[in-house]
């Protein structure tokens, strides 16, 4: 969009919107004094922690940290972009968004194109139900699809005759159909691009059709063809099946990225509703960026042949530059000769879901792939592994994950003086057999949110203090949720916490990925000290000073009195269960 929405208009719009009425039209709110409360629509919870402050014009969830105004609520709840959210609120308030003239023309043009494409989608869907679509219906039935899934994805059929779509369209739609490439006029006369094909409408976040994919039912050289790019369709930015996934699952927490339209639909038919497919090359950075705008957890699913592994390698390499703490990428390789469509129909949804849950994390996939064909007991092969991996890790932004992977590379390659000296001493005593490289203790810088979560794991009795801290900042979203759950279940010590997490299936699912990406856990004292410093900065300084005094170089532990030893235990957190 070339034109900008004036800030003054946005502020006026927010002033006119009754936030409680807006949110209350989508979820059930309960009055709580001058405010409103509800169970949060953005995460799963039993106790209402979602608060709406109409007088202040904002909402806040003390469980997941979701926070914002009317525009951000509509964007998150309805899955809209900023401009679409402003338009939705403006319609609700009876206002017109004051775009400049060029922006207004651009929007009108886009609406005209999507109107034409929506018409084409309805035409193809109707043709599938007609007599001429009988063969196409039989084909979809053989692929295991029922009427419900066909309706959900608006599957259609493009008749074999060359101008069926063009002839059926009104004159005001024929031009836009040609402009989007759905109808071609390359040879001076109109001709439908898609003929005798199963049609897959590609829809944007609002459910408007922006393009099509078509699978031949004949012997065409091209098994699948897609619409050309247009003003409303940019292939590298679009995700097939995302609109349908959001309709089925209000709060998506992960996406399964597959390679084809039929893979997405076959998985949905079997109850796996979070599968999507990128268009064109699934491994370019535009596609990855588009996916990561939706969720923080991606599972890439590729065929298990050489081409599949090459695609997975490319996805991994392109993802490295985008990886930051909190992102979780995994790889699921299909058995040789299978794809998601055939496999889910063969082994069922439960077995396939287990494959998804057991997918390989990016860090492990990288090390496994790069160490293929190497014997890490040989110095030469350890050097080769370092040569392969080091350039990849240098492409990653600085993060806890990068630090951990870097240290793992050094561990595997034995790239520190201590390991080399140990090997020399061992070899001097005789023998050059296989020896394991000793792993060194590694200090990894963790995010403050993760530090607080680890502190809760070590000392659940800190939950009340940590929960209070988390309410003041969205940066501690995971810690806030973990602390809230601990308080709800009245957990006081680590033994009870471990037992509850082991026996409570819902809690286990909720916090399953809490420490994903942490490959080296800090020592208990370091964890608790970091948390105390965030909770009480001044008290932590005093504690460290007293600890230093007790452990002064001039004294040994034997010199401490019984009272001082007890104080030392308290200062180091050793009294916690």
380-404: pLDDT as tens digits: 999 999 999 999 999 999 888 899 9
Rounded Cα distance between 244 and 144, Å, is: 19
Determine the pLDDT at residue 157: 97
More reliable by pLDDT, 74 or 424:
74
Last residue in a domain, options 233, 260, 278: 233
493-505: pLDDT as tens digits: 888 888 888 888 8
Last residue in a domain, options 28, 61, 93: 93
Residues 280 and 334 occupy one common structural domain: yes
Residues 83 and 23 occupy one common structural domain: yes
Domain span holding position 381: 371-426
Residues 105 and 228 occupy one common structural domain: yes
Q: Which are the contacts of 187, defined by CB distance < 8 A and separation ≥ 6?
A: none
Rounded Cα distance between 553 and 549, Å, is: 9
Task: Pick the most confident of 131-135, 243-247, 452-456.
Answer: 131-135
Rounded Cα distance between 404 and 478, Å, is: 21
Residues 177 and 68 occupy one common structural domain: no
The gap between the terminal CA atoms of the chain, to the nearest Å, is 58
Determine the pLDDT at residue 546: 60
- In the predicted model, what is the mean pLDDT of the chain? 83
More reliable by pLDDT, 48 or 135:
135
Rounded Cα distance between 167 and 362, Å, is: 51
Task: Pick the most confident of 5-9, 319-323, 339-343, 549-553.
Answer: 339-343
More reliable by pLDDT, 502 or 145:
145
238-279: pLDDT as tens digits: 899 999 998 888 778 889 999 899 999 999 999 999 999 988
What average pLDDT does the segment 335-363 reach?
93
461-464, long-range: CB < 8 A, 24+ apart: 461/492, 461/493, 461/576, 462/531, 462/535, 463/487, 463/491
| 434 falls within a domain | no
DSSP result, 500-568:
HHHH-HHHHHHSTTTTTT--SPPPHHHHHHHHHHHH-HHHHHHHHHHHHHHT-TT--GGGS-HHHHHHH
| 439 falls within a domain | no
Q: Which are the contacts of 76, defined by CB distance < 8 A and separation ≥ 6?
A: 42, 66, 68
Residues 229 and 244 occupy one common structural domain: no
Q: CATH number, domain at 284? A: 3.40.1360.10
What average pLDDT does the segment 84-104 reach?
78
The answer to whether the beta carbons of residues 206 and 80 sit under 8 Å apart is yes
| 440 falls within a domain | no
Rounded Cα distance between 227 and 71, Å, is: 33
Last residue in a domain, options 233, 260, 292: 233
Q: What is the pTM of this model?
A: 0.61
What average pLDDT does the segment 98-106 reach?
61
Lookup: tokens for 343: 């496999």
Q: CATH number, domain at 161? A: 3.90.980.10
pLDDT above 70 as % of the chain: 83
DSSP H helix total and E strand total for the chain: 27, 17
Residues 105 and 226 occupy one common structural domain: yes
How many domains does the chain divide into?
Answer: 5
pLDDT-wise least confident of 63-72, 163-172, 496-505, 508-517: 508-517
- From 280, 355, 366, 354, select the one nearest 329 (Cα to Cα): 366
Pairing of strands 297-302, 275-278: unpaired
Residues 181 and 301 occupy one common structural domain: no
Q: CATH number, domain at 17? A: 3.90.580.10
Residues 333 and 383 occupy one common structural domain: no
| 432 falls within a domain | no
Residues 278 and 358 occupy one common structural domain: yes
What average pLDDT does the segment 88-107 reach?
73
| 442 falls within a domain | no
Residues 418 and 524 occupy one common structural domain: no
Determine the pLDDT at residue 433: 42
pLDDT-wise least confident of 175-184, 319-328, 441-450, 525-534: 441-450
415-428: pLDDT as tens digits: 544 444 454 445 44
Residues 30 and 64 occupy one common structural domain: yes
pLDDT-wise least confident of 73-87, 119-133, 248-262, 365-379: 73-87
Lookup: tokens for 10: 């946005």
| 2 falls within a domain | no
State the pLDDT confidence band at 9, using cuts at 50, 70 and 90. confident
What average pLDDT does the segment 122-150 reach?
95
Determine the pLDDT at residue 429: 47
Q: CATH number, domain at 396? A: 1.20.50
Determine the pLDDT at residue 91: 86
| 576 falls within a domain | no
Residues 89 and 23 occupy one common structural domain: yes
What average pLDDT does the segment 340-350 reach?
93
Lookup: tokens for 508: 């286990």
pLDDT at 329 over 70: yes
186-217: pLDDT as tens digits: 878 899 999 999 999 999 887 899 999 999 99
Determine the pLDDT at residue 574: 56
What average pLDDT does the segment 126-149 reach?
95
Determine the pLDDT at residue 274: 95
| 435 falls within a domain | no
Residue 42 exposure: Cα atoms within 13 Å on the Cβ side: 25
State the pLDDT confidence band at 120, using cuts at 50, 70 and 90. very high
């Amino acid at each position: 969009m070339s034109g900008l929405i004036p800030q003054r208009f946005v502020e006026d719009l927010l002033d006119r919107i009754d936030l409680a009425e807006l949110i209350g039209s989508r979820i059930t709110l309960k009055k709580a004094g001058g405010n409103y409360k509800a169970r949060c629509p953005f995460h799963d919870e039993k106790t209402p922690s979602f608060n709406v402050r109409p007088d202040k014009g904002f909402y806040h969830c003390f469980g997941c940290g979701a926070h914002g105004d009317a525009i951000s609520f509509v964007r998150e709840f309805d899955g809209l972009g900023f401009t679409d959210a402003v338009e939705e609120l403006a319609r609700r308030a009876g206002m017109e968004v004051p775009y400049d003239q060029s922006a207004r023309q651009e929007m009108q043009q886009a609406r005209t194109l999507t109107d034409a494409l929506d018409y084409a989608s309805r035409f193809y869907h109707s043709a599938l139900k007609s007599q001429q679509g009988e063969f196409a219906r039989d084909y979809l039935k053989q692929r295991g699809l029922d009427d419900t899934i066909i309706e959900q994805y608006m599957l259609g059929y493009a008749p074999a005759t060359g101008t069926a779509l063009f002839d059926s369209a009104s004159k005001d739609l024929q031009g836009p159909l040609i402009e989007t490439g759905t109808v071609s006029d390359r040879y001076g006369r109109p001709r439908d691009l898609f003929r005798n094909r199963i049609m897959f409408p590609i829809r944007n976040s609002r459910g408007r059709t922006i393009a099509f994919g078509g699978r031949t039912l004949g012997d065409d050289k091209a098994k699948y063809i897609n619409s050309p790019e247009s003003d409303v369709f940019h292939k590298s930015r679009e995700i097939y099946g995302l609109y349908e996934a959001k309709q089925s699952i209000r709060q998506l927490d992960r996406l399964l990225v597959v390679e084809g339209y039929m893979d997405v639909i076959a998985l949905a038919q079997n109850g796996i509703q979070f599968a999507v497919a990128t268009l064109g090359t699934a491994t370019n950075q535009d596609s990855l960026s588009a996916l990561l705008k939706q969720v923080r957890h991606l599972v890439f699913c590729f065929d298990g042949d050489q081409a599949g592994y090459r695609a997975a390698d490319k996805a991994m390499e392109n993802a490295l530059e985008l990886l930051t703490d909190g992102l979780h990428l995994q790889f699921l390789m299909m058995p040789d000769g299978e794809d998601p469509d055939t496999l889910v129909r063969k082994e069922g949804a439960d077995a396939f879901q287990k494959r998804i849950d057991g997918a390989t994390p990016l860090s492990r996939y990288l090390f496994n792939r790069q160490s293929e064909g190497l014997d890490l007991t040989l110095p030469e092969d350890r050097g080769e592994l370092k040569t392969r991996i080091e350039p990849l890790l240098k492409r990653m932004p600085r993060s806890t994950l990068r630090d951990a992977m870097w240290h793992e590379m050094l561990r595997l390659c034995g790239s520190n003086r201590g390991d080399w000296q140990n090997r020399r001493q061992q070899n001097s005593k005789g023998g050059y057999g296989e020896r394991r490289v000793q792993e060194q203790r590694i200090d990894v810088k963790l995010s403050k949110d993760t530090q607080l979560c680890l502190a809760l794991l070590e000392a659940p009795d800190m939950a009340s203090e940590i929960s209070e801290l988390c309410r003041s900042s969205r940066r501690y979203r995971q810690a806030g949720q973990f602390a809230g759950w601990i308080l709800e279940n009245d957990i006081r010590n680590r033994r009870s916490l471990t037992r509850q997490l082991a026996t409570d299936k819902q809690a286990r699912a909720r916090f399953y990925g809490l420490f994903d990406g942490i490959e080296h856990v800090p020592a208990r004292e370091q964890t608790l000290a970091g948390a105390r410093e965030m909770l009480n900065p001044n008290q932590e300084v005093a504690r460290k000073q007293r600890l230093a005094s007790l452990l002064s170089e001039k004294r040994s532990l034997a010199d401490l009195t019984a009272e001082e030893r007890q104080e030392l235990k308290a200062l180091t957190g050793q009294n916690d269960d």
